[in-house]
Amino acid sequence: MTSRPELQAPPEIFYNDAEARKYTSSSRIIEIQAKITDRALELLALPDDGVPRLLLDIGCGSGLSGETLTEYGHQWIGLDISQSMLNVALERETDGDLLLGDMGQGLGIRPGVIDGAISISAVQWLCNADKSSHNPRLRLKAFFESLYKCLARGARAVLQVYPENVHQRELILGFAMRSGFAGGVVVDYPHSARSRKEYLVLTCGPPSISSTVPKGKDGDYESCSDDDSGEDEENQTVRMAAPRKRQKITKRGKGREWVLKKKEQMRRKGNAVPPDSKYTARKRKARF
């Protein structure tokens, strides 16, 4: 089994001029990349009204996914950290606007202007510390917070990922949830070692009918995974719990809302409870 690319070198080094051209010239990769992008667009669930949308392709590489977006009539912005990949995209005269940047430092896009975002086999790179200054947790936090900000309300992001293990999957999910997203993981072909695909389907905003996680696919499919190892999974859809609203906690314990709730429960049980006042749950001053 070949070593995973993200374990060999940072993306801007691994995808040098030679590797970028090799990747883009492979007819197999072009075909499979188009199929994965088709699936990502399907999960994106854009309105079928014929109106072009502005989409973001994170880790766009040489623009293979962007070609599929263009075929569907959408405008797109591509972001990638590899200058070599972007150079190939320019040579191929892709229709999207290309940005050179590190998604681990934030996307740097105006709030609320993106109608949908996709990413093909890129986000798992954030789980590796390629430099002494890199902290995977801080990089994931910066990425998901900036992604949430740039999406329009109710818009979706579909991120196809190849997590190395369960810990990476939970790490990615956890930071997506903390950033305010609703959604979960869709697993296509979960019982196939080579064809298994994971899509993180996220909705910008609180949980609603529109944030319901779609079903995964099953059947025969060819894989272009950088890591062909797979594991069986009973459910094709893994739902992600909505982030809970944090309760205000005082230095001495629970907040006023919690205290009032407990006092009401005691009253229902028939216990003698002091009346509520403006001093309820208020911190006492230090006595000398």
Residue 263 has pLDDT above 60, yes or no: yes
The confidence score (pLDDT) of residue 98 equals: 95
DSSP sequence for 129-195:
--STT--HHHHHHHHHHHHHHHEEEEEEEEEEE--SSHHHHHHHHHHHHHTTEEEEEEEESTT-TTT
The confidence score (pLDDT) of residue 228 equals: 42
CATH 3.40.50.150 correct for 5-204: yes
76 CB-near residues (< 8 Å, 6+ apart): 54, 55, 56, 57, 66, 69, 70, 95, 96, 97
The confidence score (pLDDT) of residue 234 equals: 43
Residue 11 has pLDDT above 90, yes or no: no
109-119 tens-digit pLDDT: 999 999 999 99
CB count within 10 Å of CB 63 equals 27
139-162 tens-digit pLDDT: 999 999 999 999 999 899 999 998
Task: Identify the bridge partners of residue 76 per DSSP, sorted by sequence position.
Answer: 55
**Where do the structural domains in the chain lie, given as residue ranges?**
5-204
Residue 200 has pLDDT above 70, yes or no: yes
The confidence score (pLDDT) of residue 225 equals: 44
